[in-house]
Structure 1
Amino acid sequence: MSFDQAATNAANALVEQLQGIAGGASDRHAVILDPTLDAESGQQTSATQQLDRIIGNRVMQARQLDWIPFDAGGLARARFLVVGSLARAPGGHRINLALVNVQSGIVVAQSSALARLDTADMKPLNYYRDSPVVVNDDSIEAYIRTSTASTGQKADASYLSRIGAAATINEATKLYNAGRYREALAEYRRLAATPTGYQIRVLNGVYLSNARLGRSSDAEDAFGKLVAYGLAQRSLSVKFLFSPGSTDFWSDSRLTSAYGMWLRQIARQASNSEVCMDIVGHTSRTGPEEVNDNLSSRRASFIKNKLTIESGELGARTRTVGMGSRQNLVGSGTDDVVDAPDRRVDFTIVDCKS
C-alpha cells in the first residue's frame, strides 16, 4: 500500500479496538500520542509526522474519545496512550502502533500495516536534521519495544518510568522546531537536571539550542557532556558530512564549521575516560559495495588521524573499521539530509587489550 493508505489502515484498526474496550456510549476517554519515531534512526520525520496526523484525525472522528495534547497536563488526564514506530521491512516500511492503558501500563490494542518503501517521506524534522548525533539510546529503544509489544503485555518498564520526561521533551522539541531556541533551551536544561531527563535527546537539545543562540562556549560544554554520555553508553554515532566519494569534509562551512570542536571534545572525553574504541565508518548505499567498504574505512582512518592530533594517546587505543553501507539506518541512497545518518562515524567502546 501507499504510506498514506497503510497509515490510515493501521490507525483505523487501532481505534476500532479502542472503541471495543472503551465502554458505553456515555463514557468519554482521553487519548494522547507520544509522537511516532523511525525505528532505525530514532528520528521524527515527515512520514512519522504524517502518521501522527492520521492517528489524531481518526481519534477525533471517533465517538467516546477526546484527543488531547501530549504534555504534562494531558498525561495527567489521559486514559490511553498511543505509541508507534516505522521500521524498515523487506520491500517497505512496517508501521507498528500500540495502545497503552496509562493507569495499568498494559498494551490493550496493537495494529500493523506495511507501506511501500518509495511512498514514505523520510526527511527529518528540524531538530533531527540539525542533530550532530544519531539520537538512539536506551530511552528510544524502550519506546520502540513498547510500539511492537503484543496486546496483553506490559509496556516497557523503562519507557513507562520516563513517560513524564518524554512529554516535556516533546514540548521542548516543538519549541526548537519552531525556532524558539531560548524557550527550548530552558526546557532542555530543566530536564537535564532530573534523573529521568538526563538522556541523549535532552543533552542534544541543550547543545543545539546553545549553538543556534550563538553561545559557542556553552555549546562546546554541552557537546562535551553529550559525548561523555554516549561513551558511558558504550556507543556514540556522529554525523560527519563528507564530500561524495571523498574523505574531505563537505566544503560548505555552514555545515562543517563545528567539526573541529566536535573532534576536540570527542578526543578529550575519550582520553579522560581512558576508553578504547572502534572507529567505524559508514557510507550511504550508492555505489558498488567494494567501493563503499574502502571509502568507509578511509573515512574512519581520517577521523582517527584527526583525533590522534588532538590526543596522541588515542592512536594506541583506537582501531578503524569500514562497514560500507551494510548498517544503513535510512537506506534511501539520496546522499542528502535524508540519509545523513547512513554516512555517520560510530565510536564504539571495546575492551582494551593488555
Structure 2
Amino acid sequence: MPMSRASTTNRISFSAWLGPAAVLGCLSLLAGCLATAPQQAAVSTQELSFSEAVVVATDGLANQTQKLPALLAMVESKLVRRNVVVDAPIDAASGQQTQATQLLERRIAERLAARTEGKFELLPFKTENLAKVQYLLTGTLTRQGGPAKPLLNINLALVELKTGQVVAQASALARDEGLNHTPLPIYQDSPVLVKDKVIDGYIGTAATAPGAAANPVYMERVAVAGVISEAGTLYNAERYPESLARYQEARGQAGGEQLRTLNGIYLNNVRLGRMAEAENAFGQIVAYGLRASKLDVKFLFNPGSTEFWSDARLSGAYPMWLRQIAKESTGARVCMVIVGHTSRTGSEQTNDVLSLQRALYIQQRLAAESPALAQRTKASGKGWRENLVGSGTDNAVDALDRRVEFRVEPC
C-alpha cells in the first residue's frame, strides 16, 4: 500500500530528531558487541629515529581504540572526539622528567592532533579535567643497549579512567641520537632520587598489557597527581611561592604524602630562603625514605676524592642533610647499609674502591652526629655497576649515578 505523505513526513522528522545521538548510541552498541576481547599491544622492535618511533608508538596506541569495522570507524571519527590527559612521561630508570621526556610528550601531542581518524583532544593534566576526559595517557623512556649503541624503548599506555583498565599499549625502539637527557630543574635541584612506589606504579602502568588493570597504587593517586604536576611546572618556571602553595595543597589531599611532594616543599623553601622550614622538610624526606627502606641522596664529591664538592652552592646543605639523616635514623632505630656509587668513568676497580671510600666517609660523618650509628651501619661500594643513567658524562645528566644510598636492613 502506498505510504501517505503524513507517514513519510513523520519518518523524516523522527530520523532528524534522532540525529547524531542515535548514531552514537548505535555505534556504542556495535562497539560493545564487537569488542569481545582486549586489543593486542602494538610492539615495534625495528630501530627507528626518535621521531619515527614516536609516530609508530602513538599510532599503535590510538589504533587500538578503534574497535569498529573500517566503515563505522570512519563515521565514528566524524562524530566522536576522545578526550585525554597526559601525565607527563618520565625516564623509567630514574623516575625523572628530562628534556627528552618533555620532547616525547610534545611529539605525542602533535601526532594525536594530526590524526584524521579516531581524533583525540588533549586537555591539560589538571584535577578539574579528570572528570571531563575518557582516557589517561602514560609514557616512559627506557635505556637499552650500551654506550656504543644507545637505544631507547618508548612505552605508552592508555588507561580508561572510569574502569582503571589499560585499553591500549604500544612500544617502539628509538636510536638515542642527539637527545638531551638533562633533567628538568625540579629534578636537577632535588637532593634525592625522587622515585617511590607511586612512580614505580606509573612506570608499570605504561608497560601494562591491554585488558589488564593499571597499577592501583598509581591510579588511587591520579587526582592529586594533577596538582603535583602543576606544582612542578611552577617550580621549573621559577614561580616558587606558587609552587610551594600547590605542593602544600597536594600534601593535604588524599594520597598526597609522596616523595615528590615532600621534595617540592623542601626545594621551594630553600629557594625562598626559609632554611628552618627546609630542614624540617628534609627530615620528612628522610623519614619517608626510611619507612620505604631506601633513600638515595645526591652527595657530590670532588673527582677521585672523598671530599665534598668544593662549590658551596651545591654542597653547602650537606651538613644539614647529614644531621637530619643521623637524627631520623637514630630515632627510628634502624640499621643501614650505606652504599657508595660512582659514574661510568675510569676503571671498574678504581671506582669500586672510590665508592667504598665515599660510603665509609659518610658513615664516619653520621657516627660523629650520632655515635649509636657506628654500630648500626656498614659501608659498601658498588662502583658504577648499579648506574641509573650510565652516560659517563659527569654532569647533571648522570648526577644520580654518583649518589649515596641508604638501605635499611634487619638489625
TM-score by length of 2: 0.83
Distance in structure 2 (CA, Å) of the matches to 1:326 and 1:240: 18
Of the candidates 278, 281, 303, which is equivalent to residue 362 of structure 2? 303
Query: CA contact under 8 A between 1:297 and 1:320: conserved in structure 2?
Result: yes
Runs of 4+ in 1 over 6 A off after TM superposition: none
Distance in structure 1 (CA, Å) of the matches to 2:176 and 2:79: 42
Query: CA contact under 8 A between 2:224 and 2:254: conserved in structure 1?
Result: no
Cα distance, 1:24 vs structure 2: 4.5
The answer to whether residue 135 in structure 2 is matched with residue 80 in structure 1 is yes
Aligned residue identity for 2:333: E
The answer to whether residue 124 in structure 2 is matched with residue 69 in structure 1 is yes
For residues 178-223 of structure 1, the C-alpha deviation after alignment (integer angstroms, 9 at most, x for no partner) is: 1011011111112222340001000000000000000000000000
Query: CA contact under 8 A between 1:30 and 1:77: conserved in structure 2?
Result: yes
Partner secondary structure for residue 202 of structure 1: helix
Distance in structure 1 (CA, Å) of the matches to 2:66 and 2:305: 55
Distance in structure 2 (CA, Å) of the matches to 1:319 and 1:289: 22
Aligned residue identity for 2:209: S
* Aligned positions of 1:112-191 closer than 5 A: 112-191=171-250
Of the candidates 85, 101, 104, which is equivalent to residue 48 of structure 1? 101
Partner secondary structure for residue 338 of structure 1: helix
Aligned residue identity for 2:60: A
For residues 115-168 of structure 1, the C-alpha deviation after alignment (integer angstroms, 9 at most, x for no partner) is: 223443210000000000001100000000000000111111111111001111
Query: CA contact under 8 A between 2:221 and 2:254: conserved in structure 1?
Result: no
Distance in structure 2 (CA, Å) of the matches to 1:97 and 1:31: 13
For residues 51-87 of structure 1, the C-alpha deviation after alignment (integer angstroms, 9 at most, x for no partner) is: 0001111111224321110101221111011101111
Partner secondary structure for residue 321 of structure 1: strand
For residues 200-257 of structure 1, the C-alpha deviation after alignment (integer angstroms, 9 at most, x for no partner) is: 0000000000000000000000000010000011000001111111111111111111
Partner secondary structure for residue 339 of structure 1: helix
Distance in structure 1 (CA, Å) of the matches to 2:320 and 2:173: 42
Q: CA RMSD in A?
A: 1.3
Distance in structure 2 (CA, Å) of the matches to 1:204 and 1:346: 17
Which residue does 1:15 correspond to in 2?
Answer: 62
Deviates more, 1:302-311 or 1:114-123: 114-123
Aligned residue identity for 1:227: V
The answer to whether residue 97 in structure 2 is matched with residue 38 in structure 1 is no
**Greater CA radius of gyration, 1 or 2?**
2
Aligned residue identity for 1:151: P
For residues 265-307 of structure 1, the C-alpha deviation after alignment (integer angstroms, 9 at most, x for no partner) is: 0000001101000000000011110111001000100111111
Which residue does 1:58 correspond to in 2?
Answer: 111
Cα distance, 1:4 vs structure 2: 2.8
Query: CA contact under 8 A between 2:96 and 2:194: conserved in structure 1?
Result: yes
Aligned residue identity for 2:101: T
Query: CA contact under 8 A between 1:38 and 1:87: conserved in structure 2?
Result: yes
Query: CA contact under 8 A between 1:11 and 1:54: conserved in structure 2?
Result: no
Structure 2: segments with no counterpart, 5+ residues: 1-47
Distance in structure 1 (CA, Å) of the matches to 2:66 and 2:265: 40
Structure 1: segments with no counterpart, 5+ residues: none
Which residue does 1:99 correspond to in 2?
Answer: 158
Cα distance, 1:106 vs structure 2: 1.2
Aligned residue identity for 1:202: T
Partner secondary structure for residue 385 of structure 2: coil
Distance in structure 2 (CA, Å) of the matches to 1:237 and 1:5: 35
Partner secondary structure for residue 346 of structure 2: coil
Which residue does 2:27 correspond to in 1?
Answer: none
Of the candidates 8, 15, 27, which is equivalent to residue 80 of structure 2? 27
Aligned residue identity for 1:26: L
Aligned residue identity for 2:370: S
Deviates more, 1:288-297 or 1:189-198: 189-198
Which residue does 1:280 correspond to in 2?
Answer: 339
Partner secondary structure for residue 137 of structure 2: strand
Query: Alpha carbons of 1:24 and 1:50: their partners in 2 closer, same or farther (altered >3 Å)?
Result: closer
Cα distance, 1:13 vs structure 2: 2.0
Query: CA contact under 8 A between 1:17 and 1:109: conserved in structure 2?
Result: yes
Deviates more, 1:264-273 or 1:63-72: 63-72
Partner secondary structure for residue 396 of structure 2: coil
Query: CA contact under 8 A between 1:271 and 1:314: conserved in structure 2?
Result: yes
Distance in structure 1 (CA, Å) of the matches to 2:253 and 2:225: 12
Partner secondary structure for residue 41 of structure 1: coil
Query: CA contact under 8 A between 1:2 and 1:119: conserved in structure 2?
Result: no
Which residue does 2:278 correspond to in 1?
Answer: 219
